């Protein structure tokens, strides 16, 4: 199931259990981090996770509004009421990961989403490394980090560097994988590119699971339609965009978003078709 935090009874039940043994250590750390930086919240780890037995850490950027915003659950959870969390839940179910095997965290664990909605500056990435080390110290079974998105990628790159905690990571056999963020923005793709992107994230998790001693579920072959031709792509774009276009500024914005949602290969084929028609006219 996904988005269960939208159910107030489920959310209240989870919050009432944040001191259960499997999450007590990590949630005590969350309290300590909030004391160290007054005025900034750090969402707790929802107790449906078996944090104390986790072997994989799922690292994202910073807490989103459905985790620690004014209307958020106050917890990191794949059950939060947003597309990113729901997509994470689908990935875990696809590869066979259970809540006892994985735990979420953020490169910068304090809530700064409103002031940094488009990514973290380098100083905040650096400030989050110490907290990440403390999380790993509390959870010695974690052997793999899956980093989602650019901020998490930068975080693990710094963390694993010899200047920071590279020797520490080597000593405990810790490895990191970098993959796409699960946010709606990262998945503003058309089919079949969206399915391909989701499966690529699943493949990263399968590799991380094997490193951590787990056996992932086997990938199912993707049934992809044959590539569309240039003329087909032009007609498809025309049919989808024409009903939406009005003023010039809105026209340019919608066209730009449409092109960004395409894969590089599809956009090249569309551009080739448009140029061919233009040069032939």
Has residue 241 got a pLDDT over 70? no
Length of the chain: 281
Cis peptide before 91 (omega within 30 of 0): no
CA distances from 169 to 18, 135, 136, 143, 206 (A): 28, 13, 10, 9, 20
pLDDT interval class at 106 (50, 70, 90): very high
Contact predicate 145/105, CB 8 Å? no
Architecture of domain 4-211: 3-Layer(aba) Sandwich (3.40)
How far, in whole angstroms, is CA 148 from its chain's centroid?
5
Q: Which tokens in the block code for residue 176?
A: 């990191």
- Residue 60's nearest CA partner among 11, 98, 109 is 109
Rounded to 5°, angle at Cα 163 from 108 and 31: 30
DSSP structural state of residue 31: H
pLDDT in tens, 148-203: 999 999 999 999 999 999 999 999 999 999 999 999 888 888 778 889 999 999 99
d(CA 57, CA 134): 13
Q: Which tokens in the block code for residue 197?
A: 């992107």
């Amino acid at each position: 199931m996904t988005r269960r935090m939208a159910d107030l009874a489920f959310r209240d039940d989870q919050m009432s259990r944040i001191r259960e043994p499997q999450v007590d250590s990590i949630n005590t750390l969350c309290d300590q981090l909030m004391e160290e930086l007054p005025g900034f919240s750090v969402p707790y780890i929802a107790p449906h996770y078996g944090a104390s037995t986790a072997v994989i850490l799922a690292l994202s950027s910073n807490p989103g509004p459905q985790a620690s915003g004014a209307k958020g659950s106050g917890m990191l959870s794949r059950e939060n009421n947003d597309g990113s969390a729901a997509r994470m839940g689908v990935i875990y179910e696809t590869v066979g990961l259970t809540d006892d095997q994985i735990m979420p965290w953020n490169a910068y664990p304090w809530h700064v989403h409103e002031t940094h909605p488009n990514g973290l500056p380098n100083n905040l990435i650096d400030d989050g490394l110490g907290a990440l080390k403390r999380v790993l110290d509390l959870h010695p079974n974690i052997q793999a980090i899956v980093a989602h998105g650019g901020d998490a990628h930068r975080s693990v790159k710094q963390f694993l560097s010899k200047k920071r905690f590279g020797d520490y990571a080597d000593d405990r056999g810790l490895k990191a994988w970098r993959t796409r963020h699960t946010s709606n923005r990262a998945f503003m793709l058309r089919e079949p590119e969206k399915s391909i992107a989701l499966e690529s994230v699943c493949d990263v998790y399968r590799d991380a699971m094997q490193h951590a001693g787990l056996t992932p579920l086997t990938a199912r072959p993707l049934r992809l339609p044959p590539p569309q031709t240039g003329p087909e792509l032009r007609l498809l774009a025309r049919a989808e965009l024409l009903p939406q276009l009005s003023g010039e500024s809105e026209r340019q914005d919608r066209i730009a978003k449409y092109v960004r949602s395409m894969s590089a290969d599809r956009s090249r084929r569309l551009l080739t078709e448009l140029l061919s028609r233009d040069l032939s006219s």
